[in-house]
Amino acid sequence: MPDAGTRHIKTVKIAMEDVVVTGMGVVSSLGADLDSFWESLINGKQGYTSNSSPMLQDQPFPLTGKIPSFLSEAYSRNEEDISLDRAAQLAVAAAGMAIDDAKLKIKTDNAYIPVVMGTTCGANLTIEEKGFDEAWFSEVSREIDLEILAQYDHCSIANAISNNFSLQGPSYIVGTACAAGNHAVGEAADLIKLGRAEVVLCGGAESFSLLPVYGFHAINALADDACRPFDKERQGYVIGEGAGVMVLESLTHAKARGAHIYARLVNWALNCDATSFALPIADGARCRELILDCLDSSGLKPEDIDYINLHGTGSKTNDLMEVNGIKQAFPHCYRTISASSIKAMLGHTFGAAGILDNIATVLSLQKGVIPPIINLQTPDEGFDLNFVTKPHHAQRIDTALSLSFAFGGCNVATIFSRP
């Protein structure tokens, strides 16, 4: 039962068009394509490195999950997109892979394709790299470079995808911080369920930016050796970058064109625990309500979930909240449901984190293998979930839950099942 003062909302189940995943694309520190990403995950590879590169060696932080040797020219189909902010370039690359993976023929299949993308810092890297302070505010020159100004536009992350691939549907950003990539998937699914689109591209993108790094450094929330979600010795975050895009379709449309179906997106839910900008409610009450809302409106029971892709950042408070919420939502089966977090390998990619988690979840469903939580040696007291810690953990998964929790209080859950 919910605690006093909290409210569990039971959503009315309405028959709508089924939503399926037919294509996926990834650019990350673990690989710049879907196959490389997956192989790195199941082998427990660590994608972030020390700050040994010339660009990073003078910065006051030890670890970073930057994507090595990313060249936007290799992915862009529009010359203008090469000058975009790095986050938009990563998004275009991941979108192109997802479109190719889904075998979408844009000109003949459906030009009306909305794009919904999530981000946290958006195009902030443009400000950091282009010297806005000198170009706009110095006494020497106050000229505004319109080309640079055009790059600093968070919507460019979604708009660049639409422009690059000549997509005619609505194109927009959700800015719900670390839950944004997962949130974008849910918004895209609703467009299909409500009959507003047959195909939607959705996901998240984040480029490495000094703003969150300095912020977390200031509050001593950065790990100095490794990301260790749920471990007794965990220190905090490792900051990464990346992009992921999913192609969602109505089941009717996917069948009609003979598309390969990875998984069904059963349902999604979101809520908020905005009592503090940075700290979640550690007792797990809102996490529990989020999970139960998602399950109830799906017609599922807790015991129907085989695997949970955890948010698992390595933050003391966030990890505690997540474990508490899961134990309350799954009181009779939390010790048997497999659980893992890929952030131990990727670092925290903020606006891209939720979509990369979702892609990993869908691949686990399809391939019957669960990525491990590396670096988890001794779970903290009371952290008695069924953590997967060894590579190549084979298990049939029929239904899986993916969780995202964000600064500002936005919480998102998605449930996927085998097609």
With 0.95 as the threshold, say if the pTM is over it.
no
Tokens 């195009």 locate to: 123
pLDDT value of residue 145: 59
Least confident window among 86-90, 123-127, 249-253, 347-351: 123-127
Residue 415's DSSP bridge partners are 267, 401
Mean pLDDT score, 106-134: 70
Task: Examine the pLDDT at 4 and tell me if it is beyond 80.
Answer: no
Within 8 A by CB and 6+ apart from 55, the residues are: none
Average pLDDT value for the chain: 85
Q: What is the pLDDT of residues 245-277, one digit of tens each?
A: 999 999 999 999 999 999 999 999 999 987 766
Task: Examine the pLDDT at 9 and tell me if it is beyond 60.
Answer: no
CB 256 within 8 A of CB 280: no
Task: Examine the pLDDT at 124 and tell me if it is beyond 60.
Answer: no
* Token digits of residue 65: 């999950």
pLDDT value of residue 177: 87
Least confident window among 78-82, 199-203, 289-293, 357-361: 78-82
Within 8 A by CB and 6+ apart from 84, the residues are: 72, 92, 151, 156, 160
Within 8 A by CB and 6+ apart from 239, the residues are: 61, 63, 64, 65, 208, 212, 213, 216, 222, 347, 348, 350
- Catalytic annotation, pick one of 178, 202, 227, 294: 178
Identify the band that residue 281 occupies on the pLDDT scale cut at 50, 70 and 90: confident
Tell me which of 259 and 2 has the higher pLDDT: 259
pLDDT value of residue 7: 40
Distance CA 244, CA 321 (A): 26
Tell me which of 236 and 260 has the higher pLDDT: 260
Distance CA 93, CA 73 (A): 9
User: Which domains are seen in the chain, by residue range?
Assistant: 19-256 (3.40.47.10), 267-417 (3.40.47.10)
pLDDT value of residue 229: 97
Q: What is the pLDDT of residues 19-45, one digit of tens each?
A: 999 999 999 999 999 999 999 999 999
Mean pLDDT score, 322-347: 97
Q: What is the pLDDT of residues 53-64, one digit of tens each?
A: 544 555 656 677
pLDDT value of residue 135: 56
pLDDT value of residue 109: 52
Q: Is 242 left (phi over 0), alpha (psi -120 to 50) or beta?
A: left
Task: Examine the pLDDT at 365 and tell me if it is beyond 90.
Answer: yes
Identify the band that residue 137 occupies on the pLDDT scale cut at 50, 70 and 90: low
- Catalytic annotation, pick one of 154, 183, 253, 348: 348
Within 8 A by CB and 6+ apart from 246, the residues are: 21, 23, 24, 98, 185, 188, 201, 202, 203, 355, 358, 359, 362
Within 8 A by CB and 6+ apart from 252, the residues are: 17, 198
Catalytic annotation on 393? no
pLDDT value of residue 407: 79
Task: Examine the pLDDT at 406 and tell me if it is beyond 50.
Answer: yes
pLDDT value of residue 148: 57
pLDDT value of residue 147: 59
Catalytic annotation on 311? yes
Among residues 162, 174, 164, which one has the least CA distance to residue 200? Answer: 162
pLDDT value of residue 209: 76
pLDDT value of residue 66: 83
Tokens 């039971």 locate to: 10
pLDDT value of residue 2: 36
Task: Examine the pLDDT at 228 and tell me if it is beyond 60.
Answer: yes
Q: In whole angstroms, how far apart are CA 66 and each of 50, 86, 182?
A: 10, 12, 21
Q: Which helix (H) or strand (E) holds 408?
A: none
Tokens 């997967």 locate to: 388
Tokens 């996917």 locate to: 254
Catalytic annotation on 121? no
Q: What is the DSSP letter of 13?
A: P
pLDDT value of residue 5: 36
Mean pLDDT score, 191-215: 89
- Catalytic annotation, pick one of 183, 227, 311, 410: 311
